[in-house]
Structure 1
Amino acid sequence: MAYVRTYNPRVRVGNWNEDVTLEEETLKEFILRKERGELTVQKEGVLRHNIMKPVSLSVSLDGFLNFGDTVILVNSGGGLHDPRRPCVLSIIADSSNIGSHSGTNPSPSLQGPLQVGGAHSMDPCLRNAFVITSVDGTTDGEVVRYDQNFALRTASGFAGELYLASDHRTFMKCAKKSRLQELSLVDKIDFLCWWKAIYVDPQERLENEGYPVPVNRKVLISHCKTNQCLAALGNHILWTPFGKEYELTAHTFLDSHKAEQDNNHWLFVTANPTNQNQSLLQSQKDDVMTDELRQEPEQLEDIQVNEHFKGDEKQ
């Protein structure tokens, strides 16, 4: 006797009415979240589109750092015995960190607290641009001086105007990899968000106290409460939505001469006066590459001449 199906998927058995109702409710919720832009794939797209938008850095005509300037903070990298590459203080965020202030600003923006990392891309964007903010009532445009307190704030708009903060490490609150003092971006400014620039040479530090802070030159960025300097750790790698990056922390690394190591050396990088969409580091890198390309034909000619003389000697 041949097999005959006694039912098919269209037969309504069990709690079929409840199943149909749940499917309809799920579909309605999905459509509603899609219209609001709350789907994970939509948030990821919004994050990528907004956080990587180019930012115009401030141009320093006098060569000094001013309050209100938009800069990127670049660690100079390691020396001969440390292969650490230069990195930029950058925001680490994912789709779960996107929200909106329904009362004041309905547009999406990043919500704190957030992590920070050392990214290798030197292109100025919302992710790595920071505004030098006064904490003592100094007006924008005034020169920032050594040992003067200031705050580092992310750009307005999607970046959320968050402040770089730190505090003493505890068993429950510390850096993920190194277990040192943690850095974070918070919504409200307080004493934990206060920083100051210190002259890089300890032997001339006292003489330079109160002098203007230069841009595009190495300085130390010290946390006012804990007295620990901003540092980049090349031996601790973070896996972020933007790739592998160095872990950043607040910790002072001293050498045998009690001087801060290059982990703590940072530069306030401003825009190139001739091209404001490009930082001075990028322009210097392009100039070096151009010089190398110009030297290549001359090197080729030298090689050809040397080979010619070697051939004559053999003959």
Structure 2
Amino acid sequence: MSVVRTYSPAVRVGNWSEDLQLEEDQLKDFLERREKGQLLIQQDSNLSSTLVSKRDTSISRDGYVHYGDVVNLYCKEAKDRTVYCLDIKPREATMVAIDMSDESRLSQVLSNPCPVIGTVKCAPILRTAFAIRSVDGSPDGTRLKYGDPFQLQTMEEAGSLYLKSDKVTFQQCSKKSGHQLLNLVAESSYLTHWKVLHKNPQVRMEFEYTPVPANEPVIISHCKTNRNMTVEEKYLIRNEFGMEYELSAHTYLDAHRAEEEANVWTMQMNVPGDETAPFHVGATTEPSRPNTTSTSASQNEPAPQSAK
């Protein structure tokens, strides 16, 4: 039979001395854990602050994407901004980002597997930075081409995880949409292979095995399932960073059998001239201009009369 305390420990009733000692021990334990940063709220805050730290993308000096480059996967906002329903607003601009699972909040380390999500806070930070990795051993600096398999890997500070997808099963699918699941894993396999396709399906074969330009709209397709990375604009998930979109591997086609806006992505990179990579302005002098004063003056002078 459990004993219910009807008075506070200050009242000298029952085991008041043991109750006072118990409260003092709990307070000491709390203060000790807070000094060591072992409280759950402190661990969650430390991991969140690490993920939102600034991480610039690579600089594309020739206008193309290369193996080893750090990019942001950006999906442009929906063109149609009409609100057809109060609960569903037009899709905002989105970036692929790392999400934190319940295990990550407890251990202060990103779990394996780790979920991904579409954040509306489009900024070059650690949780939105992905490196392009080759599959066939191509050295860093080689241009990425349409149709070539590649891998998307998080930064070393974020665990060096690979973006993975697989066929839909009853145990493995997106929580809300039920489409093909996207997550991050530590092991590299055929499930982590992706390829870039041209946006226009009518000229897709002509552009195959040509370099992929940076900051241009493309399609990112999974090699095994041929499903395209997409933003589920109808499904929002609340987490530590606010309301964010669910991501999946699913192909949305319009009436012309072309991919819809939610399937179109941009590999964002810095280019020379940005704030992160300004042009180098040397000590140059303006080219000397021809002196047109004497020429114009001579043209205005009357022609000399011939001697009679």
Q: TM-score of the superposition, structure 2-length normalised?
A: 0.77
5+ unaligned residues in a row in structure 1: which ranges?
1-6, 101-107, 279-315
CA separation of 1:276 and 1:152: change in aligned 2, threshold 3 A: farther
1:119-268 equivalence runs, <5 A: 119-157=119-157, 159-268=158-267
Residue-by-residue CA offset, 1:94-119 (whole Å, 9 max, x unaligned)? 6741577xxxxxxx642332222211
Cα pair distance change 1:95/1:256, threshold 3 Å: closer
Aligned partner (choices 92, 97, 102) of residue 104 of structure 2: 97
Query: Relative to structure 2, which stretch is displaced further, 76-85 or 194-203?
Result: 76-85
Q: Deviations over 1:20-63 (max 9, x none)?
A: 66556544543453344221221132123211111121010111
Larger of the two Rg values belongs to structure: 2
Q: Is the 8 A contact 1:164 1:183 kept in 2?
A: yes
Is the deviation greater in 83-92 or in 220-229? 83-92
- The answer as to whether partners of 2:252 and 2:260 remain within 8 angstroms in 1 is yes
Q: Using a 3 Å threshold, how does the CA distance of structure 1 residues 276 and 97 change in structure 2: closer, same or farther?
A: farther
Structure with higher strand content: 1
User: Could you say which residue in structure 2 is the equivalent of 1:111?
Assistant: 111
Shift of 1:137: 0.9
Query: Distance between the aligned counterparts of 1:97 and 1:8, measured in 2?
Result: 38
Name the one with the larger helix percent: 1
**Post-superposition shift, 1:128?**
0.6
Please give the alpha-carbon distance, in whole angstroms, between the structure 2 residues aligned to 1:8 and 1:42. 30
Q: Distance in 1 between matches of 2:12 and 2:276?
A: 65
CA distance, structure 2, for counterparts of residue 243 and residue 8 of structure 1: 42
Q: Relative to structure 2, which stretch is displaced further, 26-35 or 183-192? A: 26-35
Secondary structure class of the residue paired with 2:33: helix
In structure 2, runs of 5+ residues without a counterpart are 1-7, 83-89, 278-308
The Cα shift of 1:80 comes to 3.1
In structure 2, what residue type is equivalent to 1:233? E
Measured on the aligned residues, the alpha-carbon RMSD in Å equals 2.5
SS in 1 for 2:208: coil
Deviations 1:179-205 (A, max 9, x none): 111111122222211111011111111
The more displaced of 59-68 and 130-139 is 130-139
Separation (CA, whole Å) in 2 of partners of 1:95 and 1:182 = 18
| Inter-partner Cα distance in structure 2 for 1:141 and 1:91 | 25
How far 1:12 sits from its partner (Å)? 6.7
- Residue deviations 1:228-275, cap 9 Å, x none? 000012121111211111111100111122211111100000014233
Q: Identify if the C-alpha distance between structure 1 residues 70 and 144 changes in structure 2 by more than 3 Å, giving closer, same or farther.
A: same
Change in Cα spacing, 1:14 to 1:230, as seen in structure 2 (3 Å) is: same
Q: 1:28 to 1:194 in 2, by over 3 A?
A: farther
Q: In 2 relative to 1, CA 96–24 (structure 1 residues): closer, same or farther, beyond 3 Å?
A: farther
Give the distance between the partners of 1:28 and 1:168, measured in 2 at CA. 51
Aligned residues: 263
Shift of 1:277: 4.0
Q: 1:38 and 2:20 equivalent?
A: no
Decide whether the 8 Å contact of 1:131 with 1:152 is kept in 2.
Answer: yes
Change (3 A) 1:69 1:98: farther
Instruction: Label 1:22 to 1:139 Cα distance change in 2 as closer, same or farther (>3 A).
Output: farther
Letter in 1 for 2:138: T
What is the match of residue 77 of structure 1?
77
Change (3 A) 1:194 1:255: same
Moved more, 49-58 or 80-89: 80-89
Distance 1:140-1:16 versus aligned 2 partners, 3 A rule: same
Cα distance in 2 for partners of 1:8, 1:99 equals 33
Corresponding residue for residue 63 of structure 2? 63
Q: SS where residue 30 of structure 1 aligns?
A: helix
Distance 1:8 1:238, change over 3 A: closer
Over the matched positions of the two proteins, sequence identity in percent amounts to 38
